[in-house]
Structure 1
Amino acid sequence: MSGLFARSEYEARWQKIHEEMAGAGLEAALVFGRGGGSYDRCGDVLYLSNYYSCASGQEVDNPLNTARSFSAVLLQLGEAPELIIDEPDPRHELLAVSRVSGHSDPITAAGKALAARGISGPVGLVGADFLPVKYWRLLKEAAPGTNWVEDERLVQRVRRIKSPAEMERFREGGEIATRSLNLLMEGLVGGVSEAEAVAEAIGELRRSGAVCQMIPVAHGENISRWATEPFSGAGMTVPAQGDLVRGWLDSIIFEGYWLDPGRTAVAGGKPDADQKALMENCIAIVDGVIEAIRPGATVHDVARIGDVLSARFSEGDSQMNDQWPLYGHGTGLYWEHPYIGVKMSEPDDHFEAGMVLGIEAFLHVDGVGTAAHEQNLIVHADRNEIITNSPITWW
């Protein structure tokens, strides 16, 4: 599975982004990406070119190589995209672009490619939020006099609405995520260690052509934290009968596209009354938010519905509530705007048909624990299509 769409898919993307550039008064744009194990910032370059670096994102600069795992797409109105990468010989049949060059220092190479164009107008810079200061200096030295204009959402504004081909890829990814999450929760409920349950879930992902960033799980006294073991995401311990257990795919990555469903249950499958109420109320928050989402609805209005439901059911706070005061986010080639929280989105942001979302809730009750729940869905003009279909309850 290459992840490559039909050529027409990429041409439509380039055209939409050229329109965004023209509307912003940009003559050109340089779009950076970082791969090599750092999946979180490869999305824009992957979207434009289907390129992903195989280099490790952990390599340090040396006399031969600089900025391993970084790449860039140079866009100019009226011109075909140019891809500047950190590898000497990529698989060209997997790329959407024909203008490709490999370099031991892709940052300097990108700057020189831009300078060679003789562009006098404003140039959009996409990726400034993860481009190190050292590499920014290299870029400026290679392209002196450039009128840089930072625009982190130039590509994301186009990415947020998925094409029919992307929706089909998400549906296939949703089927894989469902099978994987089922195995994870069956293990956690059924009496194996966190690590063993995660191993089964990862095995299903890999057999199906997907990968994951992390599968964080927690149980017992650590249920109010994102993961029992922060480094690996899963510990070697076996949940005790009656422990709350939580499993999450954070995230399944299928041909570049991300899904991140999660569930909460009880080891042994027999929750007490308080545990059952906690989990059912958490599910009710997610269901209430999903019901409110429709094209044209503002993100703030929907987030406030989540706030009202959370206030009704919660007693106390947890690590997850503190760091994620939200009810979901856009998803695509990793997390995307909007973030569905009053503190994390713009007042005028709204939902549109064609978005793919992760809708989630974290609910804590002192003396009982923390439940969490997430669904992935596609927003349509007349409905919301759930694409992760693991059981809602595990008792």
Structure 2
Amino acid sequence: MFAKNVPFEEFKERRMHCQEEVKKRGLKGVMIWSRGGGTWDRYAGAEYFANHYQQRCYLPDQEPLWSGRSHCVLMIPSEGEPVLIVTTMEFRKDLVAIDDIRYSTDFFGLVCDTAKELGMSEGEVGIMYEDVLTWKIGRKMKEQMPELKMIPCDDILSDMRVVKSQREIESIKKANEIGSAAMELIMNNVAAGKTEAQVLGPAMEKIYSEGAVLYFVVTSSGPYSDAVHSIDFPGYDSNRIIQNGEMFKVDLIIAYEGYICDFGRTTIVGMKPTEEQRRIIEIVVEACEHVISLVKPGITIKELCQAGDDFLLSRGVSLSAEQNDEKQIYAAFPPHWGHSIGLTWERPWFIHEEDVVLEENMYLAVEKGLYQPGMGTATYEQNLLVTKTGADVLTTSRKLWL
């Protein structure tokens, strides 16, 4: 959440826009659910409209002490003022862009009472981020509001978030500044005799000391370099010692004031690649940079994907889903070229079926993975803003680590 220079008027304008869309659809209002605490996933709803992050990890309901822990819901009626219902009171109220904030140890009862007060307890009401609801929350709502019909409308939020405001861009740039510095620390620390966890260690201090948080990081190396991560949990190996000549790759995602940066790099431990290793890493970097060079307002996602595929084909890369030839480099699956980002992973995704036209101030991640049987997968990812003239690449860490 924004901790300084909070644009309260901007949050109000977002809610008013949302309210207008709700009215157009004939809905009585919208419930915007979010979740926080031990998971960074799916906090963006309340964050976007209220500048509120629900701290405290999920805990099973322990009534009468608490219920609904880690969840919050912002209710915006079709007419009238919004209400934010929280499940803990430990937060900076001066930073939240909502006047009416409510709390009760009986979370489910408060949700129901507030919905009735706002005229949102029956009939058609919009819902955003329904996937964060537990079965219990859904069951309780149905028991207490049997005439309520929830209408999914995440598209209102996703459409609004496509183009970033100047205040958002300020945080986005800071996230990339911290993330790029962390990536430099990681890649400079890759060396034989260390575990993947030891390679990551120094970067974590940088991330946290700068006011950001680690959202997600995975590494893979050596015999597991064809996988996204060597170990499912925590995503990096703290036991196996990496060796010279092995492929090492990392995908790093951090969040600053809620806004994420998401990029990756690949190298060879010892920095002395074979010709085959050098070729796959150089091609994946060149391919992504080629796509980035074409970014500008007016071009479609579909056109960028086609340009990327054509580039790979010109370098002898196969797009086939059958990937068994050890002498052949393949485009890794799923076959996409990136996505939009912000408070989370957002539309558009870079796939051929997407006809979205790029606009100024869209925040994008361009990425690709290439795979060769017996050698592993090389990945590369960059973050950028769309400007009037092209791409402003925000990822400043070194591109090629060879």
Rounded Cα–Cα distance in structure 1 between residues aligned with 2:141 and 2:361: 36
- CA 1:374–1:347: 2 relative to 1, 3 Å: closer
Written as runs of structure 1 = structure 2, the 5 A alignment for 1:196-275 is: 196-236=198-238, 237-249=240-252, 251-275=253-277
Residue in 1 aligned with 2:287? 285
Q: Are 2:335 and 1:325 aligned?
A: yes
- CA 1:17–1:60: 2 relative to 1, 3 Å: same
TM, length-normalised to structure 1: 0.91
Q: How many residues align?
A: 389
Q: Are 2:305 and 1:313 aligned?
A: no
Cα deviation, 1:170-228, whole Å, max 9, x if unaligned, reads 11111100110001111124753211111111111001111112321111111111111
Q: For 2:371, what is the secondary structure of its paired residue?
A: strand
Q: After the TM superposition, which of the residue ranges 258-267 and 114-123 deviates more from structure 2?
A: 114-123
State, as a whole percentage, how many aligned pairs show the same letter: 27
1:227/1:233 contact within 8 Å kept: yes
Rounded Cα–Cα distance in structure 2 between residues aligned with 1:157 and 1:105: 34
2:77/2:118 contact within 8 Å kept: no
Residue in 1 aligned with 2:43? 42
2:348/2:354 contact within 8 Å kept: no
Please provide the CA RMSD for this pair: 2.3
1:295/1:381 contact within 8 Å kept: yes
Q: After the TM superposition, which of the residue ranges 29-38 and 132-141 deviates more from structure 2?
A: 132-141
Amino acid at match of 2:365: G
Q: Are 2:363 and 1:359 aligned?
A: no
Cα deviation, 1:305-357, whole Å, max 9, x if unaligned, reads 333344542483799933x3311111111111111123xxx544332222111
Cα deviation, 1:244-279, whole Å, max 9, x if unaligned, reads 111221x10111111111100111111121111100
TM, length-normalised to structure 2: 0.90
Equivalent position to 1:148, from 128, 147, 150: 150
Rounded Cα–Cα distance in structure 2 between residues aligned with 1:56 and 1:201: 24
Cα deviation, 1:29-82, whole Å, max 9, x if unaligned, reads 11101111221111011111121122212x223333332111110112342321
Cα deviation, 1:259-305, whole Å, max 9, x if unaligned, reads 11110011111112111110010012211222333323332332233
Written as runs of structure 1 = structure 2, the 5 A alignment for 1:5-20 is: 5-20=6-21
Return the offset for 1:369: 2.1
Written as runs of structure 1 = structure 2, the 5 A alignment for 1:377-388 is: 377-388=384-395
Q: After the TM superposition, which of the residue ranges 211-220 and 10-19 deviates more from structure 2?
A: 10-19
Q: For 1:153, what is the secondary structure of its paired residue?
A: helix
2:331/2:371 contact within 8 Å kept: no
Q: For 1:358, what is the secondary structure of its paired residue?
A: strand
- CA 1:22–1:220: 2 relative to 1, 3 Å: same
Q: Are 2:394 and 1:393 aligned?
A: no
Q: Are 2:111 and 1:101 aligned?
A: no
Q: Are 2:350 and 1:340 aligned?
A: yes
Q: For 2:132, what is the secondary structure of its paired residue?
A: coil
1:314/1:363 contact within 8 Å kept: no
Q: For 1:216, what is the secondary structure of its paired residue?
A: strand
Residue in 2 aligned with 1:123? 125
Residue in 1 aligned with 2:301? 299
2:192/2:244 contact within 8 Å kept: no
Q: For 1:177, what is the secondary structure of its paired residue?
A: helix
Structure 2 residue ranges without an equivalent (≥5): none
Written as runs of structure 1 = structure 2, the 5 A alignment for 1:28-107 is: 28-57=29-58, 59-64=59-64, 65-107=66-108
2:32/2:129 contact within 8 Å kept: yes
- CA 1:215–1:89: 2 relative to 1, 3 Å: closer
Q: After the TM superposition, which of the residue ranges 133-142 and 255-264 deviates more from structure 2?
A: 133-142
Rounded Cα–Cα distance in structure 2 between residues aligned with 1:108 and 1:281: 57
Rounded Cα–Cα distance in structure 2 between residues aligned with 1:130 and 1:310: 38
1:189/1:266 contact within 8 Å kept: no
Rounded Cα–Cα distance in structure 2 between residues aligned with 1:304 and 1:26: 40
Amino acid at match of 1:195: A
Equivalent position to 2:171, from 169, 179, 199: 169
Return the offset for 1:89: 4.5
Rounded Cα–Cα distance in structure 2 between residues aligned with 1:213 and 1:118: 37
Structure 1 residue ranges without an equivalent (≥5): none
2:123/2:147 contact within 8 Å kept: no
- CA 1:110–1:380: 2 relative to 1, 3 Å: farther
Q: For 1:370, what is the secondary structure of its paired residue?
A: strand
- CA 1:297–1:191: 2 relative to 1, 3 Å: farther
Rounded Cα–Cα distance in structure 1 between residues aligned with 2:303 and 2:124: 36
Amino acid at match of 2:174: E
